[in-house]
Structure 1
């Protein structure tokens, strides 16, 4: 095909995408003042792989180290989150938790469910699109669904989950080849899509790190020319193996006129296509007496660093750097794969930093990831924050930046107060679960208690600032190992049983992990059949639920703690009574209190409403009748509850259409059939609840 036709096709793709954005978004007046957001996710970059996090320290100690000068600059002018956690220690579940703002106790993609369809619920993209943002994903996806073989037939293609624009790898395994048009070592040619078009035959000589940077730059520039606030999810497929490197030096300069550039011509798609592929070792590492796989890995990380610097320069050139937040992080801990390039382990550079564990471990090295947030003029520079936070916190963070309430189903808490210096500690909760049949490597850098540890079913919870972690779980009664990871990042001193405080914390951890998650039949756990523990019998209770009425128009059932409005009315009501509403539309009601469960067993809750509602018991989402809910239909869910008192919250929203207000919550359980939840089972605590 003639080169000009390739370029014509490229222009058509961008034009169609821009037109789709214009037609699909109801943009609020003045939305150009909304901050742009770029979320950069790397693949298998370890906590210790960033200079500012660990590599610079290795250099000072005379150890082999690699460099990330642009990321170090970002860290010096932004904030390092030094205890930030992924949803799970592998790609697919980690990215699912990120995109949907839920931890692994609620995500529909768990364990090693690569390519499983991301459920049709709120995502980072769909939430921000509602706020008037253009939404784009460039890079690796891997959540499209196992059925289908095309954008039309894949159930959860990115453009079906809130993204206006997509260019990248759809399938998880395709991201293991960084030259899609070529067969490299142990990897065949693979497919890569731009919009709905498969374009790998146009990408001869193209290295994906450069491709994704160039496409990201073009898309950012297009949005700025349209005065369009944007959200870009830039998901590099490196430095995960194969350990393929670029073909040419990184072009000088950066931004609008330098660095990598998108050309779009046959055999010249970007400006770093060389005469050969997979050959360029960065001069800082070439000729050193390092193993070749390590030279390759260091060069891959440096190429990402070049790309980030290029994008930062672009933002300055466009004069939007002070109105753009960049988040840089990784999807899990460091890998040990090479895929045909020789023996490789992450020990040469200690990619795990001062932590133990790698990818697939729930020790710190597998789940704690290097995270930098950069927003010049809006955030204090050169700062760190070590309060535990997680991937599920980004959805409410970005919603707050867009002036929107977070959806009620999110498990996250906005990081914005921490990032802007308003608050020192994050108020959210970190929870991780994962299962894998391997073992922790017996690297000499790791504590002896971790060597060869059978993984099996694993679980992590932060409570009272302490990390609880369980490996090879056999039952809900298995003890947590408890660590103070602020003082002991290597998890060398197990505090479990060391004091009365730790004994009490042990039981609270066992209870809490049952109270905040929901079982998933596709990822069974040994504690799935355990009843959710009740509270210790409260003394300060009275009949009735607390209620709050918000006169607000919301695009979904909101987390009421994120509403800008104060409640119009509040008080005590006998039950889930719509009679407390102050008007019949554009309203949000919250009912909160305690549900008395008469005996231990399985309870089925049934909910019917005219628009949307979300039911939580403890921290578990029991009914999500929000996105995709058919108004007026009955939705049901089972939960196994222990006899006693359980915190309950029901949020009802009526915003868009004038309908007859309807809210009916029923339950059934041991020895009784479905009936309304009676006032005799509903209580609230007196005083501050």
Structure 2
């Protein structure tokens, strides 16, 4: 096989063209400029983010199930999702959106913090580990004037013996209100009061356990009714002058595949559908009848095993719930100014936890992984590619299909954009507003995932023979343009990636890594996968101490860091996207050229040349908030909760050569200016760094 590839990278304005062969593909990194706006609260859209648990790309009608239906083959059972299909027809399908990790906790943590798994604090199977005390979707949107609520599954609270004082309770991470399951494992049972299969669970209304009042409350119904009530109460009390952000996290169709008590209530929206009654023992209008009993009539009389009647009913219940919420927005006349995102946290699961006698759940039955290989806990496309839909009437053209790759961590920058503020500098994401609305130029997303898992990819006959039953171990996935690199059971940074043209070969059948013309692409993937991440002691990787490759500089250079000063009263260290500098120059003193009277943010940018391979430590001290990157990885975070003039130190392994750095420095007008940076090689002496120890390109 012969394949020709043009591969183009850009480093800080330096362009290097790698001619690998000639299939005519050029990977560009365009610069999207998002003008900073000062929107009134009334002009800011409400935001509802709906996250399901283990729903596969292939579980939605519009993504895959309708194709099975249209084949009219009795051997191809299919599900129906009419409300989600309608949402897709009126809005956008993101057919190349990835979760950040192929399992629940790290995926959700990366979504909420806007950072990829190479920089996150919750990684691997760290269920119930506290999400870091840093920027979240909720803290950022509160800064923009939003009311915030989290409803449903959390699982990021941190362990404590002093419940309910969890260190990372949602109300300690930016949410005004929380109603739902706090613990990860509680989400494996969908009747908290009865505990039909997994025992009784606790449901928390902020800091109060209200589960004793929730007889016969099926959680999909419960979270939906509570979400509707919260929206109605908010609009009644505060109206359009106070936009809202809701994180609505369902705990299904994952786990025990329990059934509702009855059919979805007639009608939708304000007067119909699910309703909050508020009476203990009769909290919602489906809290009656028999628990775990109702099978949707479209599936009841099929010859399917009961397991799959349950799965299809659970998915259909979510579909009804989304239709109910969308109708509520119409009834309240706020649909035109509300963004609704629907997606999943990771690929489909084989976990059902049903009693003995039931057929074990298998995503094979409906091909829940869609046209891909892989399931939950795999970094193949089936484990990472998400069924993402977005509705935003009057802003997104009906029936739009967005094919540009993106990740769940991009929603931080996206929501900051629509709220008229800048995202934190810490985020690894970019705003997706241009690709959704068709206005502006879309910046390229950073598509990267890492995960460690002791199991194996299932031995499904539908999967490629080379990956059936393959040991997972340490895994990585990176996407560059149309090409995806995957490594399983990684032993070192030198292990080769399998390389797939994911556009023409979505099932990843043809590994291009052995083609000589892909050698340079292989090298780029190996380098990039080290340049976008930092080590985390609680999630060790075999490449944590691998030396990060330097970059080649082709353009002319000059001594010093280039600096730009952005005037303003910024609440945190922000990305520079859309900001206009009021002054700029070349720094010899780490940005202290800016007059003391000016308040705002200084961005210093350039390269540092390290003389030897090995371990380097950096130490930063600032009188205001600061943030530092090396390549695309976080080096030092002195932003959220930073104590002024404290010293932050970080260690990193570097190859000899040139390494790009960015330093963001925020301070108030009139305050003393202190920004100092030191470096040392291995255990040697600390060397103070000046602007002249760096260089920039012309």
Q: Calculate the TM-score normalised by the size of structure 1.
A: 0.93
CA distance in 1, matches of 2:409, 2:459: 31
TM superposition shift of 1:465: 2.9
What is the aligned partner in structure 2 of residue 229 from structure 1? Answer: 243
Report the secondary structure of 2:300's partner residue: coil
**Does the aligned pair in 2 maintain the 1:81–1:385 contact within 8 Å?**
yes
Matched, 1:173 2:185: yes
Question: What does 1:656-667 align with in structure 2 at a 5 Å threshold?
Answer: 658-667=670-679
TM superposition shift of 1:575: 4.4
What is the aligned partner in structure 1 of residue 5 from structure 2? Answer: none
What is the aligned partner in structure 1 of residue 45 from structure 2? Answer: 35
Aligned pair partner of 1:652 in 649, 655, 665: 665
Write out per-residue CA displacement over residues 363-408 of structure 1, whole angstroms, 9 at most, x where no aligned residue.
0000101000110101111011111100110001001111111101
**Does the aligned pair in 1 maintain the 2:596–2:672 contact within 8 Å?**
no
Question: What does 1:571-590 align with in structure 2 at a 5 Å threshold?
Answer: 571-579=585-593, 581-582=594-595, 584-590=597-603
What is the aligned partner in structure 2 of residue 368 from structure 1? Answer: 385
Question: What does 1:407-426 align with in structure 2 at a 5 Å threshold?
Answer: 407-423=424-440, 426=443
TM superposition shift of 1:536: 2.6
What is the aligned partner in structure 2 of residue 639 from structure 1? Answer: 652
Question: What does 1:66-215 align with in structure 2 at a 5 Å threshold?
Answer: 66-152=79-165, 154-185=166-197, 187-215=198-226
What is the aligned partner in structure 1 of residue 489 from structure 2? Answer: 472
**Does the aligned pair in 2 maintain the 1:135–1:164 contact within 8 Å?**
yes
CA distance in 1, matches of 2:662, 2:213: 53
Which 4+ stretches in 1 moved above 6 angstroms? none
CA distance in 1, matches of 2:39, 2:476: 46
CA distance in 2, matches of 1:350, 1:117: 34
Q: Unpaired runs of 5+ in structure 1? A: 1-27
Question: What does 1:110-509 align with in structure 2 at a 5 Å threshold?
Answer: 110-152=123-165, 154-185=166-197, 187-225=198-236, 226-227=238-239, 228-341=242-355, 342=358, 343-423=360-440, 426-500=443-517, 502-509=518-525
**Does the aligned pair in 1 maintain the 2:587–2:692 contact within 8 Å?**
no
TM superposition shift of 1:552: 2.0
Matched, 1:59 2:76: no
What is the aligned partner in structure 2 of residue 50 from structure 1? Answer: 60
TM superposition shift of 1:682: 0.9
Report the secondary structure of 2:686's partner residue: strand
Aligned pair partner of 1:611 in 624, 629, 647: 624
**Does the aligned pair in 1 maintain the 2:451–2:474 contact within 8 Å?**
yes
Q: Relative to structure 2, which stretch is displaced further, 378-387 or 41-50?
A: 378-387
Report the secondary structure of 2:178's partner residue: strand
Report the secondary structure of 2:112's partner residue: helix
Write out per-residue CA displacement over residues 49-95 of structure 1, whole angstroms, 9 at most, x where no aligned residue.
00000000000012210100000000001110001001100000000
**Does the aligned pair in 1 maintain the 2:551–2:657 contact within 8 Å?**
yes
What is the aligned partner in structure 2 of residue 540 from structure 1? Answer: 556
Report the secondary structure of 1:673's partner residue: coil
Write out per-residue CA displacement over residues 247-297 of structure 1, whole angstroms, 9 at most, x where no aligned residue.
110001111100000111121000001221000000000011001000000
Write out per-residue CA displacement over residues 642-685 of structure 1, whole angstroms, 9 at most, x where no aligned residue.
11110011011124x74212211111224741232144531111
Write out per-residue CA displacement over residues 10-34 of structure 1, whole angstroms, 9 at most, x where no aligned residue.
xxxxxxxxxxxxxxxxxx9941221
TM superposition shift of 1:151: 2.9
Q: Relative to structure 2, which stretch is displaced further, 677-686 or 65-74?
A: 677-686
Write out per-residue CA displacement over residues 560-603 of structure 1, whole angstroms, 9 at most, x where no aligned residue.
1243xx11112222341311x15534311111111011212222
How many residue pairs match? The answer is 652
CA distance in 1, matches of 2:446, 2:361: 35
CA distance in 2, matches of 1:621, 1:219: 37
Report the secondary structure of 2:298's partner residue: coil
Q: Unpaired runs of 5+ in structure 2? A: 1-37
**Does the aligned pair in 2 maintain the 1:584–1:661 contact within 8 Å?**
no
CA distance in 2, matches of 1:45, 1:585: 50
Q: Relative to structure 2, which stretch is displaced further, 667-676 or 433-442?
A: 667-676
User: What RMSD over aligned residues (CA atoms) do the two structures have, in Å?
Assistant: 1.4
CA distance in 2, matches of 1:406, 1:274: 45
CA distance in 2, matches of 1:149, 1:311: 36
**Does the aligned pair in 2 maintain the 1:549–1:582 contact within 8 Å?**
no
Report the secondary structure of 1:561's partner residue: coil
TM superposition shift of 1:416: 0.8
Write out per-residue CA displacement over residues 220-244 of structure 1, whole angstroms, 9 at most, x where no aligned residue.
1112121221000000000001110
Report the secondary structure of 2:640's partner residue: coil
CA distance in 2, matches of 1:184, 1:670: 57
What is the aligned partner in structure 2 of residue 520 from structure 1? Answer: 536
**Does the aligned pair in 1 maintain the 2:596–2:673 contact within 8 Å?**
no
Report the secondary structure of 1:431's partner residue: strand
Report the secondary structure of 2:620's partner residue: strand
**Does the aligned pair in 2 maintain the 1:599–1:670 contact within 8 Å?**
no
Using a 3 Å threshold, how does the CA distance of structure 1 residues 671 and 177 change in structure 2: closer, same or farther? Answer: closer
**Does the aligned pair in 1 maintain the 2:561–2:692 contact within 8 Å?**
no
Report the secondary structure of 2:617's partner residue: strand
**Does the aligned pair in 2 maintain the 1:387–1:426 contact within 8 Å?**
no
CA distance in 1, matches of 2:145, 2:510: 49
CA distance in 2, matches of 1:110, 1:29: 36
Using a 3 Å threshold, how does the CA distance of structure 1 residues 648 and 345 change in structure 2: closer, same or farther? Answer: same
